[in-house]
Amino acid sequence: MRIDILTLFPGMFENVLGESMLKRAQGKGLVEIKVHDLRDWTSDSHRSADDKPFGGGAGMVMKLEPIWRALEELKVLRSPLTAKRSTKRAVKVVLLTPQGKKLDQRSVKKLAKEKHLILICGHYEGVDERIRELADEEISIGDYILTCGELPAMVLVDSVVRLIPGVLGDDESVKFESFESGMLEYPQYTRPAEFKGRRVPQVLTSGDHKKIEEWRMAEALKRTRERRPDLLKRKGR
């Protein structure tokens, strides 16, 4: 998979992409992630990527031209005369915006099957409306407002890359995580079995794998009922 990120603040991604799982995934050649400074596609001496909104109002709006030129260079658009997408390259363009569809595990799994993602990080008071015409999908990570689209882009990249086969040490572990089964994950414990009077549930040290599996399913259901009953309603449980 290849992921291109179009941003006004490329420095924000350095530590996130250079640590832990994302670093290992890139090192293994399982994903190629490129961060691009949108100001490289501006045309004035001040490298302006934003301007005041027509009609007045507070704040600044991200300009259309730099994003258009970036997508042209990345071979997504056919020509500067049309917004029609090129069929030569399988690519999905995603705009990170609070007005987008809320990101969930189902949409993450779909995105993980793409060969090439281009993420546009919104900023300021929003983007020129014509930029939306260039995106295949608009995504939000929740019903709250952030300063920029860079943080949602990091969340999306992390959630998608970890589903690429070979990225995690044990691909089977993904199947038992929260939201994969429509429920929250069951409680997890590790050594020591007892610490200051707090003991690990005895069933987990029993060696009886059938009973352990039954306990985990029951605890996952209990936790979901207590914390996220809406998930069970979706499944009709």
What CATH number has the domain bearing residue 226? 1.10.1270.20
Residue 172 lies in a domain: no
Q: Are residue 155 and residue 42 in the same domain, yes or no?
A: yes
Give the pLDDT mean for 48-70. 93
Q: Are residue 139 and residue 221 in the same domain, yes or no?
A: no
| Mean pLDDT score of the chain | 90
Q: Mind listing the pLDDT tens digit for each residue in 145-193?
A: 898 999 999 999 999 999 999 999 766 556 656 666 789 999 999 999 9
Residue 12 lies in a domain: yes
Q: Are residue 116 and residue 218 in the same domain, yes or no?
A: no
Structural domains in the chain (count): 2
CATH number at residue 29: 3.40.1280.10
Query: Which tokens belong to 151?
Result: 């943080």
What's the confidence (pLDDT) of residue 85? Answer: 56
Domain boundary among the residues 97, 131, 161 is at 161
Residues forming a β-bridge with 138: 95
Residue 105 lies in a domain: yes
Does residue 4 have a pLDDT over 80? yes
Query: Which tokens belong to 25?
Result: 């995934």
Q: Which domain holds residue 70?
A: 2-161
Does residue 221 have a pLDDT over 70? yes
Judged by average pLDDT, the poorest of 63-77, 86-100, 149-163, 166-180 is 166-180
pTM exceeding 0.75: yes
Q: According to DSSP H, which parts of the chain are helical?
A: 14-17, 20-27, 64-73, 105-111, 150-161, 209-227, 229-235
DSSP-based three-state secondary structure for 62: strand
What's the confidence (pLDDT) of residue 81? Answer: 45
